[in-house]
């Protein structure tokens, strides 16, 4: 059940704040302080909803759902615009996978660039590229500085379609409770999304509009609906969200192509889910059309399917939404970090990583130590705290994981 926490009771009656409804008690003081600042924004609709995987982010809390009227905060969407998940169930059982999963991992790693890498040539079809290119040119014609922020601008965004990226992005092969095989991946809008996000975040800071009052933090700077910057940002962010969707779809195609020679012939895909968890869109809530920003949260409308991954070595879930109004029909996007990457590297060593990822074919070197399972919240507790938001359809355990 949600824990309703009114962070600013003293200013509530003066109309200077909104309630914050949190679906966990596992939340630190720094994150609460950040939510306190967010609650003071004068354009928040009804309240702020906080998911059970919440933790401190840049400007806005990761795991927060912010419904706004007549304004949008670019930093709340962030720089990995449209980051999200894609999962496909295959017509294969666990026993049909190769005995040595390292051959499968190597095959995928050869085909899917990770980190800052990109494909040597453009893989996406013209039917995908042409509409994206046309719309992007409309954006960069108005904001030519965007092209100077990304090396080999056009070649890069086109060649990065179908690539993973780094950080917490991953590709996994998982098994569900019936030993069905799933392919799951986590990625976003790559370099072009970062450029768009960074550019408009800085533009919002410089404009520092205060129609609804001065933002309590520069990273909460906003655009006001009706302004040219608002319109341009919405055009750009919608483009980046679509790009991220196509990136995941193209990557899934490449992954399946890499797997086919090593698996029984004619395996088919049975179902697919492709969902964002860093994005903004217009929705109807509490009788009004508002802009809903989900920063590290996914949509969980009634009967809508979603994906909630755990960390390396932990369970993941295919879920179905319950349409909970107080969460703005949302749920968590994963387990959520318990500690920073720097702290994880200080507290744990390579042997800890080996032990915590036992039974999973994956990298076990110091380069991914910041992604060790202990750096994340316990996924079972996170799931227990959102039973009123979603129902579990499938429980997945990974047997192979590729990190950027």
Output the known binding site for GMP: 168-172, 277-278, 309-312, 316, 333-336, 403
Neighbours of 366 (CB within 10 A): 12
d(CA 356, CA 347): 14
Q: Do 35 and 7 contact (CB within 8 A), yes or no?
A: yes
Q: State whether residue 283 is helix, strand or coil.
A: strand
Beta strand segments in 296-387, E: 297-299, 305-308, 316-321, 330-332
Give the residue numbers of the binding site for Mn(2+): 80, 169, 186, 277
Q: Do 35 and 21 contact (CB within 8 A), yes or no?
A: no
What separation, in Å, do the N-terminal and C-terminal C-alpha atoms of the chain show?
Answer: 35
Under DSSP, the state recorded for 318 is E
Of the residues 47, 143, 333, 394, which is catalytic? 333
Q: Looking at the chain, how many residues does it have?
A: 404
CA 86 to chain CA mean position, Å: 11
Beta strand segments in 165-211, E: 170-175, 180-187
**Residue 333 bears catalytic tag:** yes
Closest to 185 (Cα-Cα) out of 87, 103, 258: 87
Give the residue numbers of the binding site: 80, 168-172, 186, 277-278, 309-312, 316, 333-336, 403
Beta bridge partners, 292, equal 67, 281
Kind and range of the H or E run holding 381: helix 379-384
Neighbours of 327 (CB within 10 A): 24
53-75: b (≥16 Cβ within 10 Å) or e: bbbbbebbbbbbbbbbebbbbbb
Active-site annotation, residues: 333
């Amino acid at each position: 059940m949600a824990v309703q926490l009114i962070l600013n009771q003293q200013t509530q009656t003066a109309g200077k704040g909104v309630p914050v409804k949190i679906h966990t008690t596992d939340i630190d003081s720094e994150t609460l302080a950040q939510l306190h600042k967010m609650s003071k924004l004068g354009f928040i609709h009804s309240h702020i909803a906080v998911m059970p995987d919440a933790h401190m982010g840049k400007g806005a809390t990761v795991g927060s759902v912010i419904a706004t009227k007549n304004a949008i905060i670019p930093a709340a969407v962030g720089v990995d615009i449209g980051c999200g998940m894609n999962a496909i169930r295959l017509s294969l059982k666990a026993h049909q996978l190769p005995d040595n999963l390292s051959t499968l991992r190597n095959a995928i790693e050869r085909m899917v660039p990770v980190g800052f890498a990109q494909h040597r040539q453009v893989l996406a079809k013209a039917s995908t590229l042409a509409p994206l290119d046309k719309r992007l040119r409309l954006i960069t014609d108005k904001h030519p500085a965007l092209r100077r922020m990304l090396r080999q601008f056009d070649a890069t965004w086109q060649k990065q379609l179908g690539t993973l990226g780094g950080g917490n992005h991953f590709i996994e092969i998982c098994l569900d409770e019936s030993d069905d095989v799933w392919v799951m991946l986590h990625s976003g809008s790559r370099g072009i999304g970062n450029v768009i996000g960074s550019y408009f975040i800085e533009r919002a800071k410089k404009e520092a509009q205060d129609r609804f009052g001065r933002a309590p933090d520069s990273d909460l700077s906003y655009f006001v609906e009706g302004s040219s910057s608002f319109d341009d940002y919405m055009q750009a962010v919608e483009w980046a969200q679509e790009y991220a969707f196509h990136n995941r779809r193209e990557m899934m195609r490449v992954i399946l192509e890499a797997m086919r020679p090593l698996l029984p012939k004619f395996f088919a895909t049975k179902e697919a889910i492709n969902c964002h968890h860093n994005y903004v869109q217009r929705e109807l809530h509490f009788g009004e059309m508002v802009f809903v920003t989900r920063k590290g949260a996914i949509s969980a409308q009634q009967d809508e399917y979603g994906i909630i991954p755990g960390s390396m070595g932990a369970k993941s879930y295919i879920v179905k939404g319950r349409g909970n109004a107080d969460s703005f029909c949302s749920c968590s996007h994963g387990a959520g970090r318990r500690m920073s990457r720097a702290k994880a590297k200080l507290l744990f060593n390579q042997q800890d990583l080996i032990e915590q990822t036992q039974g999973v074919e994956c990298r076990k070197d110091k380069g991914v130590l910041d992604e060790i399972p202990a750096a994340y919240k316990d996924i079972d507790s996170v799931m227990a705290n959102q039973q009123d938001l979603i129902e579990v359809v499938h429980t997945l355990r990974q047997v192979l994981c590729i990190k950027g």
